[in-house]
Amino acid sequence: MFKRGFEQRMSTQNQEMRLVEHLGELRRRLIWVAVIFIVAFIGGFAYAEPVVRYFKKDAGIQWHVFGIADGLRVYMQFSFVIALVITLPFILYHLWRFISPGLRPHERKAAGIFIAPAFLLFVTGLAVGYYLVFPMIIMFMIKFSKTLGVVETFGLAQYFGFMFNIVIPLALLFELPIIVMFLTRLRILNPMRMKKMRGYSYLALVIVASLISPPDFVSHLSVFLPLVILYEISVLISRFVYRKQLKEDAAWQQEFYGEKEEDAVLHVDRE
């Protein structure tokens, strides 16, 4: 009895030590990410002016400043976005290194290969949001203003604040295929479950589109349609990964049970 109590106390102490080690590792990785973000933010602030001038030339409209701090606010916004783009690969890498000890070898490998695609999808989301969705919303807003016969005056901070409120959330939502692929690889998600959840998922996408876009039907639709396309692409990706898993399981069943390949696939399907 004394031995059992001693073993339980030792087990509790070991768990507490492992928890402290994990928290210490998490703190170190957060510090590294924070340092990289701060350095990138400072660099982004230094290069914000040519970026703003590019967007000004691309927009082709005249901007006005309505507040003393509007110019500084725009610099800070662009510095934040530049720092976020630069820091994102490091965030994904440190996240992978933090969770990888608790994953199986194939799960660790699956998580590691998603870093580059996740970064590319985020950048693609920024591009789609700025070059496709945002111009459609702006054109609709301008036409709506012209019907009222008002003079269009664009505030610098208001323009970019409006743009970032649409582009940044849309870029984050472009990570959906990677998340679905990762969860499917971990066997948490599968295409059948996504098909059953399609109605609820579309409802969630409608709510998200209404939150990140202006309060009008055209803006909601401009954001909702890309999200629907992303969801359907995610279903296809989940189906591809799931079929690959079935083949891998069938090959294992064939080797372990000595079944024929088609019988092994049926065996896996039943499970």
Percent of the chain with pLDDT over 70: 80
Buried b / exposed e over 155-186, threshold 16 CB at 10 Å, is ebbebbebbbebbbbbbebbbbbbebbbbbbe
What does the pLDDT average to over 171-189? Answer: 84
267 pLDDT higher than 60? no
What does the pLDDT average to over 67-75? Answer: 87
How confident is the model at residue 256, as a pLDDT?
A: 64
Cβ neighbours of residue 30 closer than 8 Å, sequence gap 6 or more: none
Contact (Cβ atoms closer than 8 angstroms) between residue 202 and residue 160: no
DSSP tag of 216: S
Q: pLDDT digit string (tens) for 91-149?
A: 888 888 777 776 667 666 666 677 888 899 999 999 988 888 888 888 877 877 777 77
Lowest mean pLDDT among 3-7, 66-70, 99-103, 207-211: 3-7
Query: Tokens 């102490």 belong to which residue?
Result: 13
How confident is the model at residue 8, as a pLDDT?
A: 52
How confident is the model at residue 243, as a pLDDT?
A: 85
How confident is the model at residue 38, as a pLDDT?
A: 94
Question: Best-predicted range by mean pLDDT among 186-190, 214-218, 265-269?
Answer: 186-190
Lowest mean pLDDT among 5-9, 36-40, 108-112, 232-236: 5-9
How confident is the model at residue 122, as a pLDDT?
A: 92
* More confident position, 253 or 98: 98
Q: What is the dihedral of CA 182, 187, 190, 194, to 10 degrees?
A: -70
pLDDT confidence bin for 52, thresholds 50/70/90: confident
| pTM reported for the whole predicted model | 0.75
Contact (Cβ atoms closer than 8 angstroms) between residue 23 and residue 30: no
How confident is the model at residue 110, as a pLDDT?
A: 65
pLDDT confidence bin for 41, thresholds 50/70/90: very high
In the predicted model, what is the mean pLDDT of the chain?
Answer: 79
pLDDT confidence bin for 6, thresholds 50/70/90: very low
